[in-house]
Amino acid sequence: MLKDKVQEFAKKININFNNLDILKQAFVHKSFLNENPGFKLGQNERLEFLGDAVLELVSTDFLFKKFENRPEGELTNIRASLVNSNNLTLIGRELQIEKYLFLSRGESKDKDSKARQYILANCMEAIIGAIYLDNGYNNAKKFIEKYILKNVDEIVDKKLYLDPKTQFQEKAQEKYNITPKYKLLEESGPDHKKNFTVGLYIDKKLITKGRGSSKQEAEINAATLGLKKNW
């Protein structure tokens, strides 16, 4: 049955694996092995390590050739927007990789946490590592270009490669010639689990409030919300 599940995913991404165990290992989270010490395969972190390197090389080569006139710093930001954990998590959800994960009972229940997002992003990199190991560089490249680099034109056209704070600042300066400011409004919770509320201002006008487990996260949240408002 486990083999059938993995075969189903291989068929979904249209790749014929010589050794399905390599692909299966890409879905094995370390928490699963803690509860199943007799499982014949190891966890996916080594494949993740390999896949991360392949992903960086493929995306760098792709952007270098596609955008001949863009400077290195801009290409770095574009690449980061494509290969960061948020984007990899979204693609992982599109591919429904949660259906194939080998997780502990506890991790299986925790579906919407940041930890689950990292598990999905890391699994995506492990899948790339598995494809590279079993099928070679060219097939790994095709997979990356098909699923991970597919939205590059939209990201560049809409400047989504800029972080939310930079996007909001550019918009505010363009519209009002004013640099927005962030002000800490509230701090709560114990030291090990702080919550921060930050206000985003243009001049003295409060545009929105952002919340997060750090001041930086709260500022990013505020800028993200601010980009969606009319002001």
Phi, psi of 42 (to 5 degrees): -85, 180
Three-state secondary-structure class, residue 106: helix
What CA–CA distance (Å, rounded) separates 19 from 23? 8
**CA gap 30, 102 in Å, rounded:** 9
Clarify whether 110 is annotated catalytic: no
Tracing tokens 């990899």 back to the chain, one arrives at: 88
Catalytic residue among 52, 98, 163, 217: 52
Separation CA 145–CA 64 (nearest Å): 14
Q: Give SS3 for 89.
A: helix
User: Catalytic: 52?
Assistant: yes
Q: Select which of 56, 61, 98, 125 is catalytic.
A: 125
Q: Which stretches within the chain are classed as H helix? A: 2-12, 20-25, 30-35, 45-66, 72-83, 85-94, 105-109, 114-135, 137-147, 152-157, 164-176, 215-227
For residue 206, the SS3 value is strand
**What is the distance between the alpha carbons of residues 195 and 191, in angstroms, rounded to a whole number?**
9
Residues designated as active site: 52, 125
